[in-house]
Amino acid sequence: MVWPLPSRPKYSPLPGQDAPAIAKKLNLAARLRRNRKAEWSRRLVRETALSADDLIWPVFLCEGEKTRELVASMPGVERLTIDLAVRAAVEAAELKIPALALFPLTPQHLRNEAASEALNSENLVCRAIRAIKKDVPGVGLIADVALDPYTSHGHDGILRGDKVLNDETVFVLAEQALNQARAGADVIAPSDMMDGRVGAIRAALDKENFEDVQILSYAAKYASAFYGPFREAIGTGAILCGDKRTYQMDPANSNEALQEVAQDIDEGADIVMVKPGLPYLDIVFRIKDRFEVPVFAYQVSGEYSMIMAAGINGWIDGDNAMMESLTAFKRAGADAVLTYFAPRAAKILREMA
């Protein structure tokens, strides 16, 4: 279909003719541009403020010592060995970033269908938690609870045939959460989307006197195309069998997110999260508007990589786009944002202070 060209406005002069006279003054009592006339004025009326206090830094872990492994699809992001993850925590403390979220690249020979490495007290995440807490105790540590970094098939739960089993998975997740709490995790973050896992984890933690360990529930996690680079980073992209649509949410649904959040709050979640972030700001807004609980959002790997790629190629101003995107999370109602931009954004915020 060929779209018709818009007709020429009547007031547009023809070639060779003078433009019609324009009124020198409009009779406007309200001129909204007045408050935008200068930086000092824009600052005074700014409705949303972003600070380092709003940022959580996701960190990918790998085995070894003094090693950084580039994540090809995430420019500027690296997997870190534990010794370097400790240094990242020191940097986070210096930049006033409150917390790190840890995600492991589990070696293939330690993966199996039962995800048994998730329950190993000497697994990569548990060793990293102990090392960071020893040297940088003031930085919060968020431990991901899901089985996909540990399964040989890449799913977040126990697989039977082509079905991810809910209840059997929940029992393993509760044990995984205990394993991380014993290592010193401050926050347990179930990202698996199994029904009933928050209640089971809360009961398991309380039974072992971990009442002060918080639960950050990935309450509204969608089956999204934006997770690809993350799956490369943790080594599940190439091994994932099928997809995750039987347990992660349909991107077309909004009311269902409210049901998921209500259920997780009832089961003991202290904080709820929306994932992905920017494509789901309407969900962030609805949850914050409905529930009186902290709401976090995850600016996921695909969101990060799009901004980085466009910035590297000169298609957009990368730093300004980064800061604009993070401000949008806050404007929508997010109390904090998990973002791979955390250290970069915190440095800019420090320079602006």
Q: How much is the pLDDT for 130?
A: 98
**24 flagged as catalytic:** no
pLDDT at residue 20 is higher than 90: no
Question: Could you read off the pLDDT of 205-258 as tens digits, one per residue?
Answer: 999 999 999 999 999 999 999 999 999 999 999 899 889 999 999 999 999 999
Domain count, the chain: 1
Specify the pLDDT at position 2.
Answer: 45
- Is residue 154 within 8 A of residue 98, CB to CB? The reply is no
Mark out the alpha helices in the chain (DSSP H runs).
Answer: 39-45, 82-94, 124-135, 166-183, 197-207, 228-234, 255-267, 281-290, 301-312, 318-332, 342-352
Residue 241's pLDDT is what? 86
Question: What residue numbers bound the domain in which 181 lies?
Answer: 50-352
Reported as a pLDDT band with limits 50, 70 and 90, residue 353 is confident
What is the pLDDT averaged over residues 169-183?
98
Which of these is catalytic: 96, 133, 134, 275?
275
Is residue 314 in a domain? Answer: yes
CA 341, 343, 348, 353 dihedral sign is positive
Is 39 among the domain residues? no
Cβ(274)–Cβ(257) below 8 Å: yes
Distances (CA, A) of 102 to 77, 250, 331: 13, 26, 26
Residue 287 phi/psi, 5° resolution?
Answer: -65, -45
Q: Is residue 36 a part of any domain in this protein?
A: no
Q: Quick one: pLDDT at residue 341?
A: 98
Determine if the peptide bond prior to 276 is cis (ω within 30°): yes
**237 class by beta-carbon count within 10 Å (0-12 exposed, 13-18 middle, 19+ buried):** middle
Across the chain, mean pLDDT equals: 94
Annotation marks residue 275 as catalytic: yes
Q: What's the pLDDT tens digit per position in 133-159? A: 999 999 999 999 999 999 999 999 999
Q: Which parts of 34-123 fold into alpha helices (H)?
A: 39-45, 82-94
User: Which tens digit of pLDDT belongs to each residue from 300-322?
Assistant: 999 999 999 999 999 999 999 99
Residue 247 in domain: yes
Residue 151, domain CATH: 3.20.20.70
pLDDT band at residue 11 using 50, 70 and 90 as cut-offs: very low
Residues 69 and 79: beta-carbon distance below 8 Å: yes
DSSP state of 288: H
pLDDT tens figures, 261-306? 999 999 999 999 999 999 999 999 999 999 989 999 999 999 999 9
Tokens linked to 144:
């991901």
For tokens 């199994």, name the residue: 194
Catalytic residue among 133, 221, 288, 330: 221
As a whole number of angstroms, the distance between CA 12 and CA 20 comes to 8
Q: What is the C-alpha separation between 115 and 175, in angstroms, rounded?
A: 11
What is d(CA 73, CA 163) in angstroms, rounded to the nearest whole number? Answer: 30
In a domain, 42, yes or no: no
What span, in angstroms and rounded, lies between the C-alpha atoms of 160 and 170?
A: 15
In whole angstroms, what separates CA 132 from the centre of its chain?
A: 21
Q: For residue range 179-211, what is the model confidence (pLDDT) as tens digits?
A: 999 999 999 999 999 999 999 999 999 999 999
Nearest in space to 286 (alpha carbons), one of 328, 250, 332: 332
